[in-house]
């Protein structure tokens, strides 16, 4: 069952350039985006800054009207049927916004529960449940200003769940968090999906998207350039493999010899601590390694490994310059 349907979504805005003799410039943030999200799915939206990710989130959150096209949640239009949409959604932006620092965590949740007109009995049970879910029960009555960044972000998750939304929109929820806090938040996201919540996630952390998302859409310059599961996205590049080599005393001429080998698609390298770190994209890795050992027998190979393409490689291939 699909709970989010986006068809031909466009959003443009006008800006003034210059002070004297200013001109109006029209920028297209979204250029006809279309995709659907299924119930209970963790759907990743990946792309560089300015690609249109947050614009999509804001349209789905009923905070922004599309220029054209439609965005529907549970069959209701996010522009024009906002009152039907809002009880079923909530959103969490990365950072420390949307909290009242001089209040305790419990008082924050009480305030937001009142905004959603949640009755007293339901409110008290839900707040206790959410504080336990995000691991803040022991600190629930302390002021938020005493919290670490990770604790504040956990409280953001609890705030976003106060109305028990079917759909949760997460815009870079782990930005700036330490590894332990990030892992704890990822575990919470998995738990929520397991309980039937549908989650739209934007992130710049490829390992996070690969670990969490059922499907991923890559967006570039306001357009979707790829959409599939991680495994299917990897299949687009799996005709090749990657060899990573660390070797000392490797010259530009040696790099040229590598590039000329049959089956080598691409070679890139950088120097760190006087060690050449070389990445070889190739069709037949075992044959290439055999040739390397023969041609560069005089070189000191410090480390060598073959690995599969990662989500980061796919991102660079689709969003970057086309080279992995």
Identify which of 297, 268, 262 has the alpha carbon closest to the alpha carbon of residue 283.
Answer: 262
The predicted structure's pLDDT at residue 96: 64
Taking CA atoms, 129 is separated from 32, 124, 150, 158, in Å, by 40, 9, 19, 9
Mention every residue, 6+ apart, whose C-beta is less than 8 A from residue 185: 150, 153, 154, 157, 173, 174, 177
- More reliable by pLDDT, 266 or 237: 266
**Do you know the residue count of the chain?**
324
pLDDT tens per residue, range 270-319:
989 889 999 999 888 999 999 988 888 888 889 999 988 888 888 988 88
- Categorize the per-residue pLDDT at 21 as very low, low, confident or very high, splitting at 50, 70 and 90: low
What domains, with CATH codes, occur in the chain?
2-235 (3.40.50.300), 241-307 (3.30.70.260)
Residue 219 pLDDT > 80, yes or no?
Answer: yes
pLDDT tens per residue, range 242-284:
999 999 888 889 999 999 998 898 899 998 988 999 999 988 8
pTM: 0.85
Sheet order of strands, 301-307 included:
264-272, 275-282, 241-247, 301-307
Rg of the chain over all Cα atoms, to the nearest angstrom: 24
The predicted structure's pLDDT at residue 176: 82
* Residue 277: Cβ within 10 Å count: 17
* Residue 27: Cβ within 10 Å count: 11
Measured CA to CA, the distance from residue 299 to residue 156 in angstroms comes to 54
| Sole residue written with tokens 């073959």 | 306
- For residue 113, what are its two tokens? 């529960």
Burial of 71 (0-12, 13-18, 19+ CB in 10 A): buried
First to last CA, the chain: 36
DSSP 127-184: HHHHHHHTT-GGGTTSBGGGS-HHHHHHHHHHHHTTT--SEEEEESTTTT--HHHHHH
C-alpha triplet 314, 203, 219: angle, nearest 5°: 55
Residue 185 pLDDT > 80, yes or no?
Answer: yes
Whether residue 213 contacts residue 44, with contact meaning beta carbons closer than 8 Å, is answered with yes
Whether residue 105 contacts residue 140, with contact meaning beta carbons closer than 8 Å, is answered with yes
Helix, strand or coil for residue 198? Answer: strand
Least confident piece of the model among 14-18, 224-228, 236-240: 236-240
């Amino acid at each position: 069952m699909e709970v989010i349907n986006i068809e031909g979504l466009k959003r443009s805005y006008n800006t003034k350039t210059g002070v004297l003799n200013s001109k109006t410039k029209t920028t297209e943030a979204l250029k006809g985006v279309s995709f659907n999200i299924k119930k209970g799915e963790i759907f990743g939206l990946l792309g560089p800054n300015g690609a249109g990710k947050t614009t999509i989130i804001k349209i789905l959150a009923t905070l922004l009207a599309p220029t054209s096209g439609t965005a529907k949640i549970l069959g209701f239009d996010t522009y024009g049927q906002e009152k039907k949409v809002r009880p079923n959604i909530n959103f969490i932006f990365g950072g420390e916004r949307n909290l009242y620092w001089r209040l305790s965590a419990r008082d924050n949740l009480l305030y937001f529960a009142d905004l959603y007109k949640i009755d007293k009995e339901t409110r008290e049970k839900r707040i206790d449940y959410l504080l336990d879910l995000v691991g803040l029960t022991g600190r629930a009555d302390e002021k938020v200003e005493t919290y670490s960044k990770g604790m504040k972000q956990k409280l953001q998750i609890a705030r976003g769940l106060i109305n028990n939304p079917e759909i949760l929109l997460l815009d870079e929820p782990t930005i700036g968090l330490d590894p332990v806090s990030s892992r704890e938040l990822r575990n919470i996201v998995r738990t929520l999906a397991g309980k039937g919540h549908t989650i739209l996630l934007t992130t710049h952390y490829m390992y996070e998207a690969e670990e969490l998302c059922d499907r991923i859409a890559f967006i570039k310059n306001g357009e979707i350039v790829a959409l599939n599961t991680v495994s299917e996205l990897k299949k687009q590049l799996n005709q090749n493999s990657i060899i990573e080599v660390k070797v000392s005393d490797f010259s530009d001429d040696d790099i040229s010899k590598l590039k000329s080998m049959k089956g080598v698609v691409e070679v890139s390298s950088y120097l760190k601590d006087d060690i050449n770190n070389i990445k070889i994209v190739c069709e037949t890795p075992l044959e290439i390694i055999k040739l390397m050992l023969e041609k560069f027998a005089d070189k000191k190979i410090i480390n060598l490994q073959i690995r599969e393409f990662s989500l980061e490689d796919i991102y660079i291939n689709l969003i970057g310059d086309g080279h992995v």
